[in-house]
Amino acid sequence: MAIIVTGASGLLGVPLVAALRGAGERVVTLVRREPRSGDEALWRPAEGVLDPAVLDGASAVVHLAGAPIAERRWTAAYKRELVRSRVDSTRLLVRAMREAGRPPGVLVSASGVDFYGDTGDRVVDEGAPGGSGFLPELCERWEAEAAAAEEFGVRVARLRTGLALSGRGGALVRMLPVFKAGLGAPLGSGKQYWSWISEPDWVGAVRHILATPEVAGPVNMGSPTPVTNAVFTRTLGQVLRRPTMPMPVPGFALSLGLGEFAKAGLLPSHRLRPGKLLDSGYEFTHSDLADALRAVL
């Protein structure tokens, strides 16, 4: 039986597929171009194209597809793309699972820590309510489409991922030129919590979820030790052996440069507790931020 993966060419999809295949699993990736081997299958979510036979008898589906949140300014058109690429693609995937003769037993579907909105200093576990605004409401709609698979007996885990630390791309790599130039600085007040998770722990946690039947529903994907943005800034500077700026970058300056994303994606505080992972026995490889940064860089 195969594990089906969407978003397999993305930041976290690449190491996950490599780890699963390295462990002897058969992985079939869904691609938008013509498949080049038996380990690829066609889907075109914007056009509603996915053959349910692709999912028939699969052991699990890991759904990571979605347009990047932070790589473009949020024009009205791009916000529609952010919604479409998550909500519509998940709806298509779940519909195909429903129509498969033997639906997969597990759906692990991406979501984000932004589900909670700005939670300040409060420690947030998976039972906390959702927030308000574009990103929380997008996450809520995204998760609702995935949860629909529970109606026909599929175990669904919804990954509320924080800042994923990878040396191959993503937010951390975009920060590096500024920090290497000695210009890294706290953002806004610097007091907002950033819940982070190393790439190896994110991959390990997904494999743990796939193998652990009791893990279902929302799952906080962050280390047990979130830090404030000011601490993150100082720690990254220390790891890179570069000074950091004492004065923070004002929120209005971030908004001028990055538009709506700055207020919605950089300044809210998320102090996650990964309760379901810890309670089900997952052991984090990286709970210390400096160790995690050294490992991925």
pLDDT tens sequence across 37-56:
999 999 999 999 999 999 99
Q: How far apart are the first and last CA of the chain?
A: 35
Mean pLDDT of the chain: 96
What sections of the chain are H helices per DSSP? 13-22, 76-83, 89-99, 134-147, 170-180, 199-211, 229-240, 251-258, 260-261, 275-279, 289-296
Could you give the CA distance from residue 231 to residue 21 in angstroms, rounded to a whole number? Answer: 36
Please tell me the distance from the alpha carbon of residue 155 to that of residue 3, in angstroms, as a whole number: 14
Model confidence at 71: pLDDT above 90: no
Whether pLDDT at 262 is above 90: no
Count of domains observed in the chain: 1
- pLDDT reading at 279 higher than 90: yes
Q: Residue 9 carries which side chain, given as an amino acid letter? A: S
Q: Which domain holds residue 118?
A: 2-296
CATH number for the domain spanning 250: value is: 3.40.50.720
Residue 189 Cα distances to 140, 206, 242, angstroms: 27, 33, 21
Report residue 124 as tokens.
Answer: 């947030």
**Per-residue confidence band for 244, with pLDDT thresholds at 50, 70 and 90:** very high
Rounded to two decimals, what is the model's pTM? 0.96
Q: Tens of pLDDT along 164-188?
A: 999 999 999 999 999 999 999 999 9
The pair of three-digit structure tokens given for residue 75, joined into one six-digit string: 């024009």
What is the residue type of 165? Answer: L
Q: Is the pLDDT of residue 256 over 90?
A: no
